[in-house]
Amino acid sequence: MPISEINGIRLSYEVHGTGTPVLLVAGTGAPGRVWRTHQVPALLRAGFQVVTMDNRGIAPTDACEGGFTLDDMAADCAGLIEYLGIGPCAVVGFSLGAIVTQELLLGRPDLVREAVLIATRGRTDPLGAAASRAELELFDSGVKLPPAYEAVTHVMRGFSRRTLDDPRAVRDWLDVFELSPVSLTASRAQLTLDVIPDRLPALRRVRAQCLVIGFSDDLVAPPRFAREVADHIPAATYLEIADCGHYGHLENPEAVNAALIGFLGL
């Protein structure tokens, strides 16, 4: 996994295959390899070159424990695109990664050919703000949650009722998340970015073609917030995928990948 000095930090990334480049930007606490199981193989088969990255705050990229902003994370994406010489390229972001992608669209539109925004939002509601405050309080308390407890939290918050009603699927996902390094408290600086100002008016300035994907049973980023984003971006299309929670790209990768490839292949 290459590590390069980009935007003033040591940034870890991977480049897979050749073809039309696509940058994938992960969500809060997740490493770039979260895309490897489903999205990277599908995009490679479709003829794309796929770039993944570990956002600042996620090892082995610098932790930047002094804190950082959404603008810093968007600048990291811009710096990596320029470093690799792949701009303008397609950018796909999930959750926090989608919010970062929105800032990239606003700040460096010259680097983004089109974008896919998955489980995104353009503002923070009271419940989302309360959840973010609670996670910060947990982080600052110094309490380390057992991996089994974090796994249960991930599965209960991240998947739809359809999956939660399937005992075998639940056991499989509990095993995956118990063994996974993805943590709700992996990066305090990332947690502080879960509360964002109202960016919906600014999104009217985005000129790139965008696909906005919401998941019908998403408790973390309810689909109404994704639809709001699509409604404010002039050239956006909204797609809602049924029977999926927040981790819809893992829960129903076939539907998500078909949407990605159909849109990016235009």
Active site residues per annotation = 95, 218, 246
CA nearest neighbour of 32 among 57, 9, 7? 57
DSSP secondary structure letters along 80-145 = HHHHHT--SEEEEEETHHHHHHHHHHHH-GGGEEEEEEES--SS--HHHHHHHHHHHHHHHHT---
Look-up: residue for tokens 């996902």? 173
As a whole number of angstroms, the distance between CA 135 and CA 138 comes to: 5
Phi/psi region, residue 158 (left: phi>0; alpha: psi -120 to 50; beta: rest), is alpha
Q: How far is CA 20 from the centre of its chain?
A: 20
As a whole number of angstroms, the distance between CA 98 and CA 121 comes to: 8
Q: How far is CA 262 from the centre of its chain?
A: 19
As a whole number of angstroms, the distance between CA 192 and CA 179 comes to: 25
